[in-house]
Structure 1
Amino acid sequence: MLYALHELAYQSAQPWRIGAQMARRFWTSPLNPASDTALGRTAYASAELFESVTRRYGKPDWKLETITIDGKPVRTTEQVVWSSPWCRLVRFARNIGDLKRAGKPASGPSVLIAAPLSGHYATLLRGTVETFLQDHDVYVTDWVNAKQVPMLEGRFDFHDYIDHIREMLAAIGPRAHVVGVCQPGPPVLAACAIMAAENDPNRPASMTFMGSPIDARLSPTVTNKLAEEKPFAWFKSNMIHTVPMPYPGVGRRVYPGFVQLYAFMSMNEDRHTDAHWDYFKSLVSGDGDGVEKHEEFYDEYLSVLDLTEEFYLQTIDIVFQSHMLPRGLLEHRGVPVDLGAVTDIGLMTVEGENDDISGVGQTQAAHILCSNIPDARRVLYVQPHVGHYGVFNGRRFREEIYPRTRDFIADNEKLSAVSRRTDAAA
């Protein structure tokens, strides 16, 4: 019912949005003598603000057709190399000629960036992908909005996520490197452990986890406490709703993106209110930089997708309430997940000192759990002065976190190559 009411409210506001768009054109028209007055600028800013907060934000574009590497433009081509009804594995192929002009090798280590399936589209990691493209052949999990998947395609749950990671690593090829950003940490770690136990040739050479709730019992945040304090039945009763017409996934039970967005924003309500007030003032004053910065962030932040009921509820149970992975209780398709089986996969953990989503200690717990990884293949890093978002994006990520991650991947690429040659000789 809530989903249907949400759609009704959106459609009901359509005339008001049309009116706001007309007002914008009126108050910015060069034929309007009042357009450059305080009254005109304020009226325009009011209409612009109303339209922006009531707009339906679709999936953003990647906007990575051309990136800059060492000051040189390098073209990229977006390629879908594997897909399912729930996800596309996207490769950003760099132009070889452009790489040569930038003084870079024609190829680099293959890196799978596992984007969060937690409300926002994978494009939230645009800056992460662009940075990794400086030195790597980058693939990213581009998750599909559950409301766009017809009921005939069946279910998608936590264990399907694990299977997807395995299948995508197989599509990339032997000994790639995987980077799990935030939510994917537990299922990606489980997938790597299963592949290691089976001696799968496509197991990764290294795994990097950034701000991930590997063990959510440690340094619990507001998010963790909410998940623990509320009974499981509460989440099923209050957070799950049915996709209405006219979406392809009509009838599917989901955790709607707009509910997730409200939860995100309510955690920092004052900050978002201040940001929109500053946006309004920038519109009135004609501060183009302030307007552009606000729109760039919120056009991405307000773009959300739905999660299937089964995936969301299993994540609540497995990761945040039962803590199955760190307690050694997780089974996948009837087989126990043995983290001790991981012996030749490098492990790096990255945390933010001020992370209010995954507290310090939750990600680095992977080092204790994966006890059989040699010390030479481990890196534990806590970035000072950054919160959750700063762990995988922004200036400190580019200048301080990424160089360490790049070197870690390069070291494990060499160790993996030596291991392959030794195995071949044997």
Structure 2
Amino acid sequence: MRYMATYDLMESFRNTQQWLGSTALSMASYPAFQLIPNPAIGWMAAWGEVAERSFRRMVAKPDWGIHSVTCNDGRDHLVQIEKVIERPFGDLIHFHVQGRETLPRKILLVAPMSGHYATLLRSTVISLLPDAEVYITDWHNARDIPVSEGKFDIEDYTLYVVDFMKHLGKDVNVIAVCQPAPLVLAATAYLAEMDPDAQPATLTLIGGPIDPGATPTEVTDFGHSVTMGQLEETMIQRVGANYAGIGRRVYPGLLQLTSFISMNLDRHATAFQEQIFRVMRGEASDHDHHNRFYDEYLAVMDMTAEFYLSTVHRIFKEHEIAENRFMVDGHMVDIGKITDVAVKTVEGEKDDISAPGQCVAALALCTGLPDSKKASHLEPGAGHYGIFAGSSWRNNIRPLVLDFIDANATPATPKKAAATRTRASKLSVAK
């Protein structure tokens, strides 16, 4: 019960901070206080507004906010989000552009399950929509999944991806971002042996820890410095009585967020201090840079305990993917069995989460793949976020990935797809 009490204690602390922010804003906004020329009143109102918004966002799933896209006919087309496959721990969704012919290029984005929702890839989706039919894995918050649905570890994650790829067919082009890169590589190898006709056309791995030991970072150092027993004792709790997943063992999102912020505490503290003063001066808005970033960054989800612990143990400690001895559902996966799927890796020069060398290690594991079907790219000056959602992605990496997809797609696709990209790239996407 103590683990459930700890979970509820964290939630109570968050509720209290949100209430304090709301109370400070309400009190400082009392009309009579406007007669008192005291900057402390304005500061209290600004602090309250920023605090209330920040702590409220921590338990709310962000909206995709993708309403329309400008297509090559010069018209804005509405975007409808459709659930293609519904599963207890995650769905496969499609961004259907209404009134537009189905494009030949089909892309599956595999989103990370590492604390944030799939909406973290919103800008990635927006950048790809004019040029492709875009699908994405939408993972669920573990606190909302009843215990009766069973476990969900990295093998289950891999099999979910296998099923999604099977459903979309062999003409799909898979892009795995960050954490799922090693599991998506394993899923592709699993299909190469079990169902070769269901393999994707191409596989792009962006900033993923294929071989965490290739280039150590703070993340890998942490993984080696603690034992599995310590992790289970300090990080794992049981969902409290306020949610459908009551009793489920999870790595709580609020605890994950504490870790995220502690890695760059000074930068986050400065960002919030500057935002408070912007609010005081009347320069802040709902959709300014700070709010756009932190509305997403602060929205965290619980991760199942078995997924978190198996990731640390099998990927970071035992290096099962890096040493090509990963097992899925009792079957030993051999990455060398991938012989037809073109594989590209993308890394950022200044990535401090998955440093250069960790992701490109995938190419050495693909021993059955000819060099003509292998590609890699190291983006100069780019950090982790920039290689899939920042300016580095938009200006440099995205065109390279689309060219790679076209060069290795089915024979009938590249010419038409390239023409589509040329026209669509001149148009903007409306959110």
TM-score normalised by structure 2 residue count = 0.89
Q: Distance in 2 between matches of 1:296 and 1:15?
A: 22
Counterpart check, 1:92 vs 2:88: no
Q: Secondary structure at the match of 2:208?
A: coil
Q: Write the mapping of 1:324-363 to structure 2, written as runs, cut at 5 A.
A: 324-363=320-359
CA deviations on 1:258-291 (whole Å, 9 max, x unpaired) are 1111111100001101111111121122223697
Q: Distance in 2 between matches of 1:280 and 1:82?
A: 43
Q: Distance in 2 between matches of 1:200 and 1:59?
A: 37
Distance 1:368 1:199, change over 3 A: same
Distance 1:416 1:177, change over 3 A: farther
Q: Write the mapping of 1:246-265 to structure 2, written as runs, cut at 5 A.
A: 246-265=242-261
Q: Distance in 1 between matches of 2:244 and 2:191?
A: 34
- Corresponding residue for residue 19 of structure 1: 23
Distance 1:227 1:35, change over 3 A: farther
- Corresponding residue for residue 423 of structure 2: none
- Corresponding residue for residue 429 of structure 2: none
Counterpart check, 1:150 vs 2:152: no
Contact (CA 8 Å) 1:283, 1:291: kept in 2 or not? no
Q: Write the mapping of 1:15-414 to structure 2, written as runs, cut at 5 A.
A: 15-23=19-27, 25-26=29-30, 34=35, 38=39, 41-57=42-58, 58-69=60-71, 72-97=75-100, 106-288=102-284, 292-414=288-410
Contact (CA 8 Å) 1:23, 1:47: kept in 2 or not? no
Q: Distance in 2 between matches of 1:294 and 1:35?
A: 30
CA deviations on 1:387-421 (whole Å, 9 max, x unpaired) are 10001011121010000001111111135979xxx
Distance 1:34 1:298, change over 3 A: farther
- Write the letter of the residue equivalent to 1:55: R
CA deviations on 1:182-235 (whole Å, 9 max, x unpaired) are 000111110000101224322101110110000000111001110011112111
| Greater RCO (Cα-Cα under 8 Å, separation 6 or more) | 2
Q: Secondary structure at the match of 1:84?
A: coil
**Structure 1 unaligned regions, length at least 5:** 98-104, 419-426
Contact (CA 8 Å) 1:175, 1:416: kept in 2 or not? no
Q: Secondary structure at the match of 1:278?
A: helix
Q: CA deviation at 1:17?
A: 4.0
Contact (CA 8 Å) 1:34, 1:40: kept in 2 or not? no
- Corresponding residue for residue 10 of structure 2: 6
CA deviations on 1:321-348 (whole Å, 9 max, x unpaired) are 0001111221112211111110100101
Q: CA deviation at 1:36?
A: 9.8
Contact (CA 8 Å) 1:111, 1:176: kept in 2 or not? yes
Contact (CA 8 Å) 1:96, 1:106: kept in 2 or not? no
Total equivalences in the alignment: 408
- Write the letter of the residue equivalent to 2:153: D
Q: Distance in 1 between matches of 2:138 and 2:286?
A: 30
- Write the letter of the residue equivalent to 1:127: S
Q: Secondary structure at the match of 1:286?
A: coil
Q: CA deviation at 1:40?
A: 5.4
CA deviations on 1:12-43 (whole Å, 9 max, x unpaired) are 4464244134236546xxx9855998555434
RMSD of the alignment, in Å?
2.2
Q: Distance in 2 between matches of 1:160 and 1:46?
A: 43
Q: CA deviation at 1:59?
A: 0.3
Q: Distance in 2 between matches of 1:357 and 1:131?
A: 23
Distance 1:416 1:119, change over 3 A: farther
Bigger mean CA deviation after superposition, 174-183 or 287-296: 287-296
Distance 1:291 1:125, change over 3 A: closer
Q: Distance in 1 between matches of 2:335 and 2:19?
A: 56
Distance 1:290 1:280, change over 3 A: farther
Q: Distance in 1 between matches of 2:142 and 2:193?
A: 32
Distance 1:243 1:212, change over 3 A: same
Distance 1:417 1:294, change over 3 A: closer
**Structure 2 unaligned regions, length at least 5:** 415-431
Contact (CA 8 Å) 1:85, 1:153: kept in 2 or not? yes
- Write the letter of the residue equivalent to 1:6: M
- Identical pairs, percent: 37
